[in-house]
Structure 1
Amino acid sequence: MYNIIQKIIDECGPRMPCSPQEAKGAEIIKKELEETCDEVQIEPFKCHPRAALGWIRIVILLVITSFCLFFLIQLLLELFWAYFLSLLSSILMFLAILIAWEEFFSYKEFIDPLFKEKDSQNVIGKIKPSGEINKIIIFSGHHDSALQFNLLKYLKHGYVIVIFLGLGTFFIWFLGSLIFGILTIFAFLLNFALIYDFFLNVALWLLIIGALPMLFLFFFVTPGKKANKVPGAVDNLSAIAIILGVGRYLKNHMELIPANTEIRLISFGCEEAFLRGAYRYVEAHLEELKNYDAECVNLDAIQSIDYIAFSDKEPTTRTIHSEEVVQKL
């Protein structure tokens, strides 16, 4: 099965989400599945792939603008404008945290329409039972590859430090601007100048510590096609090779398939764009998957037979996987 990994890399190269190379890889996988499956099809879909990491730049711009508005307060003599800028600074930080939460921590398409819509595809192969279907078992992976993470490539272990300092600055300033905004509401009871001086010192220290990391984060990925540099052998052609192997094995050992069970071998597109391909597939087939009590075994980054881990949850989005399926595995 190593041959299929090499074949896709040689013929397609890197396959960032919604790229022509991703589509070409899907066609190769389709032809491979046709040798073992009763039915194979490519399901096209649309999404906004660059939103998946493009939100980072928008959030950083909001954070920088929030800092600038806060520093402008000291130039204004009228308390009204100080209140206004304080409120606006807090609102921008709230918007920044909301975008980060929805896009990254929830995988929702919150600001996706701000980015260009493009075409991608899922490849689905079906091994049908002889009788009626009352169960679906899915083995899945993805054929797109990640964008090049500039920080990881050039900073190596420094990548973790930059992420820690950048995110630390982001979250601390969110809390700081929020608290300052609340306190300014009661400025008629408190000493506004004293409050502002305290938070000014906080903001200055945060900029000293976090300005450079945030600048690095702004260039987390390169815009456009220049980011399409990752061959994606482990992540995730390794899984595709295994799925194709499962198809070949089951073709010669049909007795292993439970009665009235349809096996689906799926290669998703745009997984690196926050699972957009998987989401589109579920949206299109939700009732069918529910009716046939579908179970899914998704494979990702299988790089060694000596270490295979089973995940019972997705920590980023706080998604709990099926305990029943995990126990079966």
Structure 2
Amino acid sequence: MKWPFSFLKKKKPITLFDSLPNTDNEVESLKAGGLASLALKRLKSMITEIGPRPAGSEQSRAAARKLSEDFKIYCDDTIITTHLTSPGRYYGTFKILALASPLLIFLCWIGLPYIALVSFAYLVYAFYKEFICYNGIKTGSLFPKKDITNVHATIEPQEEVTNTIIFSAHHDSAPIFKYDQSNKTQYRLSLYLPFAVFALTGLCVLTITILESFQHKLFHFNLPSLSTLIILIIFSLFQICYVKLWSFVTETHSPGAGDNLVSSSTIVELAHYFAWKKRNNKGLKHTRLIFVSFDGEEVGLIGSKAWYDKYASTFVNPININIDAPFSESELSFLTKDANGLVELDNNLAVQLAEQAEKMGYQSKVGQIPFLGGATDATSAARHDIRATTLVGITLDKSGSEPYHTINDTPEAVSEKMIERVISILIKFVENNSEEVKTTEKKVLLLNSDTKFNLIH
């Protein structure tokens, strides 16, 4: 029986390919360029309507909802997940440090250097876990808790699942630092000087502790000796540098177009393409595709950590291709090390993708994030023993003109040609390798292994 109000039923959304004949030759010239245009159109719309998206904010949740709506058009299943945590903890560590260092000196003034030494050791450990390892200790109770919102969608294969390819990105945007990174001297004085003073303060505390232990004053309240007094006066004067560190991270956030909303929009268009293939009975036979956009990447990868903790055990032979900061086609690169160079990504996967790019006529590099260079969400995948790499496209020159983490990270900063290349490479990689992911074991020499990237997240 015909539904009497069928004219009121929601019409199926028209996609880029619906009006095209079902032949590969006729869509070949449109698929990458057309999808890139759609990705940038969505990017501009979301930047205009939603604006900057601090981790855990309503704006970030709105971005996740918008991406979810678009994923639902193309995917078999779309899920939004939330994780209650403290996004303020990451950069809040700066404020803790700004308060703690003068407190350590004060403890030495009143004859309690051993308490200062224990406190210093704990703070160093906490900082190492949070900023170096990107695996922070649980001190979130000091900061307000908020819901971090991730969204993922799935396209199932035609037959039994034997492989999984995860395309990931993040939709939150970074806070802007008070001191412009283009002024390298001011930037170093504002950020690196306080950390250097903190390290020297620890050395000062250790020295005073040793001196008082020899003087048998260590566990007694006492006033400092003359030599200790001189040291304390010098280090007390140095504490003024923490005024700048306290206000280093502002409440203003970057528009976050290239870092990294465009990547989230791009993976929606990858879903668009593979959904079209599936509708035309040309879908993948055994490979499940998962498209995920994380919240909280800019505050210690907390969104991807929570997501992989929850879902990693359910994946069948997974690999992860993460996309982060794809600004420029001239800097197309694939990472082999992440999280300050401490986390090994999949060298073979990175080189496979670089080789695929080269075969298509695109110059690319393979490199790593250096120590103190930051991290990407591929770290979270790698820590769950998932083969992973991150595709990046950032310019590293001495002018400090990179748009990421600044107010200049607008849609105009993103190269449409770069997005077209990203889509082309990833489509071709999936079509050429999806059914062989499980058995790929060849080892390829690392190309341009000295290339390093600064992604301060």
For Structure 1 versus Structure 2, the TM-score category normalised by the shorter chain is 0.7 to 0.9
- Contact 1:26 1:143 (C-alpha < 8 Å) held by counterparts: yes
Match of 2:320 in 1: 296
- Contact 2:157 2:286 (C-alpha < 8 Å) held by counterparts: yes
Looking at structure 2, the residues matched to 258 and 203 of structure 1 have their Cα atoms a distance apart, in angstroms, of 68
| 1:316 and 2:344 correspond | no
Matched residue SS, 2:310: helix
Match of 2:303 in 1: 277
How far 1:20 moved relative to its partner?
Answer: 0.6
| 1:137 and 2:161 correspond | no
Equivalent in 259, 266, 271 of residue 285 of structure 2: 259
Query: Following superposition of structure 1 onto structure 2, how do residues 61-80 of structure 1 map, counting pairs within 5 Å?
Result: 61-72=99-110
- Contact 2:101 2:239 (C-alpha < 8 Å) held by counterparts: no
How far 1:120 moved relative to its partner?
Answer: 2.1
Distance 1:114 1:182, change over 3 A: same
Distance 1:196 1:318, change over 3 A: farther
* 1:94-120 C-alpha deviation (Å, 9 max, x unpaired): 222122122222332431122121112
Match of 2:83 in 1: 45
Distance 1:42 1:175, change over 3 A: same
- Stretch of structure 1 that moved more, 3-12 or 245-254: 245-254
Q: Which runs of 5+ in 1 are unaligned?
A: 73-81
- Contact 1:99 1:110 (C-alpha < 8 Å) held by counterparts: no
What amino acid sits opposite 1:321 in the alignment? L
Looking at structure 2, the residues matched to 57 and 98 of structure 1 have their Cα atoms a distance apart, in angstroms, of 16
Match of 1:179 in 2: 207
Looking at structure 2, the residues matched to 312 and 206 of structure 1 have their Cα atoms a distance apart, in angstroms, of 41
What amino acid sits opposite 2:267 in the alignment? I
How far 1:2 moved relative to its partner?
Answer: 1.2
Provide the aligned length of Structure 1 versus Structure 2.
307
Match of 1:151 in 2: 179
TM-score, with length taken from structure 2 = 0.62
Looking at structure 2, the residues matched to 317 and 46 of structure 1 have their Cα atoms a distance apart, in angstroms, of 29
Which of the pair is proportionally richer in helix? 1
How far 1:258 moved relative to its partner?
Answer: 5.3
What amino acid sits opposite 1:95 in the alignment? Y
Q: Percent identity?
A: 24
| 1:114 and 2:148 correspond | no
How far 1:65 moved relative to its partner?
Answer: 0.4
- Contact 2:158 2:284 (C-alpha < 8 Å) held by counterparts: no
- Contact 1:176 1:199 (C-alpha < 8 Å) held by counterparts: no
* 1:271-311 C-alpha deviation (Å, 9 max, x unpaired): 1121111011111113113xx12111111111111212222
Match of 2:23 in 1: none
How far 1:202 moved relative to its partner?
Answer: 4.4
Equivalent in 216, 220, 230 of residue 244 of structure 2: 216
Looking at structure 2, the residues matched to 271 and 92 of structure 1 have their Cα atoms a distance apart, in angstroms, of 29
Greater RCO, 1 or 2 (C-alpha within 8 Å, sep 6+) = 1
Q: Which runs of 5+ in 2 are unaligned?
A: 1-38, 354-457
Match of 2:313 in 1: 287
Alignment RMSD (CA, Å):
2.5
Looking at structure 2, the residues matched to 199 and 295 of structure 1 have their Cα atoms a distance apart, in angstroms, of 57
Match of 1:27 in 2: 65
TM-score, with length taken from structure 1 = 0.85
- Contact 1:314 1:321 (C-alpha < 8 Å) held by counterparts: yes
Looking at structure 2, the residues matched to 12 and 95 of structure 1 have their Cα atoms a distance apart, in angstroms, of 40
How far 1:262 moved relative to its partner?
Answer: 0.5
